[in-house]
């Protein structure tokens, strides 16, 4: 019998490009805003892309074998991707995660049988990074530590896939690319490749407006451990978005577009709308890293 099925990793990438028409109502007729629907990846987020690339890079280099346990720090989505791919490809996975990560994220990682090390919520992902480094230093031969914040294979996943998808899906018409910063891989990879395709494309990064924020997965770069893959000279400008503004955008997207997204998507959409203000013609593309399934226990949705 002919094998007509696919493996889970073959479902990663080639996500749809959503037209955001209703939340953009009131902008000039020549301005369009689009978002990559990254929850269509099998692990439910954009992080499937770099996780797969980092695993494949580890296998190619010989640093990841069946005898190793994959370990990394994560706020949740990369951890879910590691756990899913580890289960599918036969690797043990240990993840250092802030204790205040959403219950849904923790439950999904546990469902894939990942071993979780919960870290001080007050230290955010920086605390998880420090714990992962401590564990690896104590027993280096046991672990494969891809270190998503320092790994070139992170941003290269977006250079090869996300950027080229955006270019093809817009027929090369993209004028602005907007992306939230966490590890910064999405912007670093997608932005570099888009700039090669058209040097006039404007790159706009998005981060929280304060060190103390509720935008899970995002980093306030001035106060955080800055990822080694981050280049603050790449983007034309940076926009700071508040937690409440991002959450209000989530509610607007659900009411007007029928799209339920997570906090970083709300921040990205709010930033894209700011970029659009005052423009007469533009094709603005952003990335919605995940949907709301991992955040439905959060209080901002309101009471039943």
- Per-residue pLDDT tens over the stretch 42-89: 999 999 999 999 999 999 999 999 999 999 999 889 999 999 999 999
Listed range (109-118, 206-215, 260-269) with the worst mean pLDDT? 206-215
**Please, which residues bridge with residue 94 across strands?**
71, 115
**Please, which residues bridge with residue 179 across strands?**
205
The dihedral through the CA atoms of 244, 216, 257, 108 has a sign that is: negative
**Please, which residues bridge with residue 72 across strands?**
95
Are the C-beta atoms of 216 and 45 separated by less than 8 Å?
Answer: no
- pLDDT at residue number 304: 46
Parallel, antiparallel, or unpaired for β 17-19 and 30-37? antiparallel
Q: How confident is the model at residue 303 (pLDDT cuts 50, 70, 90)?
A: low
Q: What is the mean pLDDT of residues 113-120?
A: 97
Kindly state the tokens that stand for 238: 């940076």
Task: Report H helices in the chain.
Answer: 48-61, 77-89, 103-111, 124-138, 152-157, 163-169, 185-197, 243-256, 263-276
- pLDDT at residue number 17: 98
Annotated active-site residue 265? The verdict is no
Q: What is the mean pLDDT of residues 139-155?
A: 97
- Per-residue pLDDT tens over the stretch 9-39: 999 999 999 999 999 998 999 999 999 999 9
Residues of the chain with pLDDT > 90, as a percent, come to 88
Domain architecture of the chain: domains with CATH: 8-40+161-301 (3.40.50.1100), 48-144 (3.40.50.1100)
User: How far is 246 from 20, CA to CA, in rounded Å?
Assistant: 16
Give me the catalytic one of 36, 47, 94, 294. 47
Are the C-beta atoms of 152 and 185 separated by less than 8 Å?
Answer: no
Give me the catalytic one of 219, 264, 265, 294. 264
Annotated active-site residue 264? The verdict is yes
């Amino acid at each position: 019998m002919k094998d007509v099925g696919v493996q889970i990793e073959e479902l990663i990438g080639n996500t749809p490009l959503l037209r955001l028409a209703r939340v953009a109502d009131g902008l000039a007729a020549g301005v369009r805003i689009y978002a990559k629907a990254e929850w269509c990846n099998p692990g439910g987020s954009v992080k499937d892309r770099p996780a797969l690339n980092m695993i494949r890079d580890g296998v190619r280099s010989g640093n990841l074998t069946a005898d190793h346990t994959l370990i990394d720090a994560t706020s949740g989505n990369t951890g879910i991707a590691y756990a899913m791919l580890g289960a599918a490809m036969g690797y043990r996975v240990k993840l250092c995660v802030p204790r205040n990560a959403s219950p849904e994220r923790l439950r999904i990682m546990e469902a894939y049988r990942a071993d979780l090390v919960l870290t001080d919520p007050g230290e955010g992902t920086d605390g998880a990074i420090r714990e992962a480094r401590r564990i690896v230093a104590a027993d280096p031969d046991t672990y494969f530590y891809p270190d998503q914040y320092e790994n070139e294979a992170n941003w290269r996943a977006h250079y090869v896939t996300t950027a080229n998808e955006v270019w093809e899906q817009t027929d090369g018409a993209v004028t602005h690319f907007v992306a939230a910063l966490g590890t910064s891989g999405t912007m670093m990879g997608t932005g570099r490749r888009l700039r090669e395709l058209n040097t006039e494309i404007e790159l706009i990064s998005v981060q929280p407006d304060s060190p103390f924020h509720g935008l899970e997965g995002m980093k306030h770069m001035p106060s955080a451990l800055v990822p080694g893959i981050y280049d603050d000279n790449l983007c034309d400008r940076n926009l700071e978005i508040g937690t409440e503004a991002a959450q209000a955008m989530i509610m607007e997207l659900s009411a007007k577009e029928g799209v339920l997204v997570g906090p970083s998507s709300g921040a990205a959409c709010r930033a894209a709308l700011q970029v659009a203000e005052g423009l007469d013609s533009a094709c603005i593309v952003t990335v919605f890293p995940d949907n709301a399934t991992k955040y439905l226990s959060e209080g901002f949705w309101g009471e039943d």
